[in-house]
Amino acid sequence: MPQPLIQLIYTSKATRLVGLPTLTDILRVSRRNNARDQVTGLLLYHEGSFIQVFEGLSGDVNAVYRRVLDDPRHRDVNLLVRRQVAYRSFPHWAMGFRNIAELTDEQQRYVSTFLQDGTLRGVARPGLAHRFLDAFRERAQEPDE
């Protein structure tokens, strides 16, 4: 039986603030590994917080998520959504990226709302997570390497 296509969304805090050189390195390694594993997604970073979505076959996405859980650069990892999907929302991005500081005021409000209200006492709010991703689907892009 073939594995289902899944989408996984999580948030985490950086163990220390991450500068552009570190983000560039994370993206380079993530894109290489994700392309190899046929995992797509989007990474958002804002003032020490990560929001990330992975999409792919169940086993591949689970393996990537385990790497995040084991990564000492992450703490307070919070799984918001893990759902089966019929298609990828980010099919062409080995790992799209947006630096939140470069977004419009409206997009930054989405980020602030999501980081403040995305979970309620540890309970995922999938509807908010999906609206959040919808706000970035058309706007995110893979930066020049």
pLDDT in tens, 29-52: 888 888 899 999 888 777 778 888
Copy the structure tokens of residue 84: 């089966």
pLDDT for 94: 67
Q: What is the CATH number of the domain that holds 37?
A: 3.30.70.100
* Within a domain: 143: no
* Whether the Cβ atoms of residue 37 and residue 56 lie closer than 8 Å to each other: yes
Arithmetic mean of pLDDT over the chain: 76
Copy the structure tokens of residue 12: 């985490």
CA distance 49 to 87: 27
Model-level pTM?
Answer: 0.75
Residue 138 has what DSSP assignment? T
* Within a domain: 126: yes
* Within a domain: 46: yes
Residues spanned by the domain of 113: 5-137
**Per mean pLDDT, which range of 3-12, 50-59, 136-145 is the poorest?**
136-145
Q: Collapse the DSSP code of 62 into the 3-class scheme (helix H, G, I; strand E, B; otherwise coil) and give the result.
A: helix
Which burial class, exposed, middle or buried, applies to 55 when counting CB atoms under 10 A from its CB (0-12, 13-18, 19+)? buried
Q: What mean pLDDT do residues 64-87 have?
A: 90
